[in-house]
Structure 1
């Protein structure tokens, strides 16, 4: 009997499956976080990775790849095989602002990625080292205008949300600032705690323990609404500086060309994870005030386009550029 005739007699369950029909995911999934450990992206990413792994039946392995304001991590995902086994934890700064500030990118932020899910957002907190004699934005403005040398503000990297908001603080308050760039929030946080920086802005998750311990002084929430995690801290709007409005959002992307059914599987796992009561509780405690996973991947695609338009105006006004 010829082999092809023998194969016809085998039960369907015993026949070899074509590659495209294999169960997805078929191996561990890599979640690239484009910053070093210790920042708000890392906090959110690790919570989400554990919850998604339970739903996908495969480990979700976090890989911190910091540098160039998120560009190195973004590039790793853009060039990954388009099979759904590599995800990017994208953010408003590391993905959108960095592409506006750094004109020569090794990838195209629109063509080389596919949206999976918008997850939520954290308001940014404006903090100073306790040696700075300011307890609100007005006092920071007065101090900055009398100081003979620039105030040093730390950023998680060129083109990050912290870079853009820090530059806008200088523009709006009319004070001179010097940006000091790092490979993530963790190293910048270490330096402001050590007194080598004056100002740091970030989502509240990594800052809260230090604010509570009085080793950092929080001046304002950069936005319109107070934070659930820091309810007594007034906003920039309340203090008379409505232009200082900045939140860090989080979302998942993968390489362009990934099959739609695999993106749908990842979206469903991410959405269910974000809606899990225990995960929501932990995220809110970490300062993620808005937990609003997108109903479909294309919803996140539209959000990315509108956010890019909004930040383009900020980048022009603050005259942000690669240094």
Structure 2
């Protein structure tokens, strides 16, 4: 074999080897995503809760996590990262590895209110997350101290218009869903209720029971025991439909403010870059969990309304809620650093 022939044979062999390597590389570029999703999950999955243990967000995350663990065949653990209205937990989950092992229990606050309320956000609620499904809606209840001179929404509006600024309403804090439920009522009913923020729901309810404040919009689980005992008067519910827990209490919309709807809601999301096959596996598992009659009953027992929707439906819902609450925050003048 001449030197030139040997050189040509070497080059041909080298090209073939490179072609094989290139095809292998192309194959491995495609395979890991599918293979990873097929194997997923191979270790525990964490749900980040942006509030402290014991609250509604935490209760729902632990409930869903328990049943999701059965569907996925791996433990699901809850990690509480509270602070800054949910922004600390939101930032942590948004920046986590996008591999399906870190999920986030988002709320109306973290996903729809905070971006308008806080001057600086450590994450983008829309761009940094891939929505999986809403888990539950929790109504807010408009309650009054029984000594107040009104029993219905029209009576309260008439009293508020005759006495501007005299009705004060408490909330668990600036920017919380109950606060903005009151601001939305102000703008839609064209009244001037005076907001009194508290550090949490419990001290606000205590002052309401003592008639230090007149009314309150609050998550139903916090006030329903006092309504049932007769210590507080339920005037109306903030959701579009009546609650099975209090079927005789009208919605604010049907009681005199057409189109009014406000609620707390909770849903699961993953970091935005999570591979689609993994997201599909998660949303499929969650659909089974949320269709489970036991899970639905346990959510209802908390005063919540179970929700089971597709990622696309949840994404569209978040965008509509962001626009709605952005307007409410702007008109209320609320702002936090």
When the two structures are superposed, what TM-score results if normalisation uses the length of structure 2?
0.77
Give how far 1:304 is off: 1.8
Q: RMSD over aligned Cα, in angstroms?
A: 3.0
Please give the alpha-carbon distance, in whole angstroms, between the structure 2 residues aligned to 1:60 and 1:114.
19
Give how far 1:276 is off: 0.2
Please give the alpha-carbon distance, in whole angstroms, between the structure 2 residues aligned to 1:186 and 1:321.
23
Give how far 1:151 is off: 1.5
Please give the alpha-carbon distance, in whole angstroms, between the structure 1 residues aligned to 2:175 and 2:294.
33
Greater share of residues in helix: 2
What are the residue-to-residue correspondences of 1:280-319 with 2, within 5 Å?
Answer: 280-289=296-305, 291-295=306-310, 297-319=311-333
Please give the alpha-carbon distance, in whole angstroms, between the structure 2 residues aligned to 1:141 and 1:122.
24
- Quick check: 1:28–1:58 contact (8 Å CA) kept in 2? yes
Match of residue 128 from structure 1: 144
Q: Which of the numbers 168, 177, 196 marks the counterpart of 2:194?
A: 177
Please give the alpha-carbon distance, in whole angstroms, between the structure 1 residues aligned to 2:280 and 2:208.
42
- Quick check: 1:53–1:60 contact (8 Å CA) kept in 2? yes
Please give the alpha-carbon distance, in whole angstroms, between the structure 1 residues aligned to 2:175 and 2:332.
12
What are the residue-to-residue correspondences of 1:1-323 with 2, within 5 Å?
Answer: 21=36, 23-130=39-146, 132-141=148-157, 144=160, 146=163, 151-155=168-172, 157-171=173-187, 172=189, 174-182=191-199, 185=201, 192=208, 198-289=214-305, 291-295=306-310, 297-322=311-336
- Quick check: 1:39–1:185 contact (8 Å CA) kept in 2? no
- Quick check: 1:224–1:235 contact (8 Å CA) kept in 2? yes
* DSSP-derived class of the 2:41 partner: coil
Relative to 1, partners in 2 of residues 1:148 and 1:191: Cα closer, same or farther, differing over 3 Å?
A: closer
* DSSP-derived class of the 2:221 partner: coil
Please give the alpha-carbon distance, in whole angstroms, between the structure 2 residues aligned to 1:194 and 1:70.
30
Q: Which moved more, 1:201-210 or 1:67-76?
A: 201-210
* Structure 2: stretches of 5+ with no match in the other structure: 1-31
Please give the alpha-carbon distance, in whole angstroms, between the structure 2 residues aligned to 1:293 and 1:208.
25
Give how far 1:220 is off: 0.6
* Structure 1: stretches of 5+ with no match in the other structure: 1-17
Please give the alpha-carbon distance, in whole angstroms, between the structure 2 residues aligned to 1:179 and 1:70.
21
Please give the alpha-carbon distance, in whole angstroms, between the structure 2 residues aligned to 1:189 and 1:36.
19
Q: Which moved more, 1:29-38 or 1:74-83?
A: 29-38
1:258-280 CA distances to partner (integer Å, 9 max, x unpaired)?
22222222212221111001111
Please give the alpha-carbon distance, in whole angstroms, between the structure 1 residues aligned to 2:221 and 2:146.
19
Rg: which structure is higher? 2
Match of residue 12 from structure 1: none
When the two structures are superposed, what TM-score results if normalisation uses the length of structure 1?
0.80
- Quick check: 1:130–1:216 contact (8 Å CA) kept in 2? yes
* DSSP-derived class of the 1:175 partner: coil
- Quick check: 1:93–1:162 contact (8 Å CA) kept in 2? no
- Quick check: 2:169–2:194 contact (8 Å CA) kept in 1? yes
Please give the alpha-carbon distance, in whole angstroms, between the structure 1 residues aligned to 2:300 and 2:157.
31
Please give the alpha-carbon distance, in whole angstroms, between the structure 2 residues aligned to 1:310 and 1:50.
33
* DSSP-derived class of the 1:307 partner: helix
Q: Which moved more, 1:302-311 or 1:274-283?
A: 302-311
Relative to 1, partners in 2 of residues 1:200 and 1:42: Cα closer, same or farther, differing over 3 Å?
A: farther
Relative to 1, partners in 2 of residues 1:270 and 1:40: Cα closer, same or farther, differing over 3 Å?
A: same
* Pairs aligned (count): 302
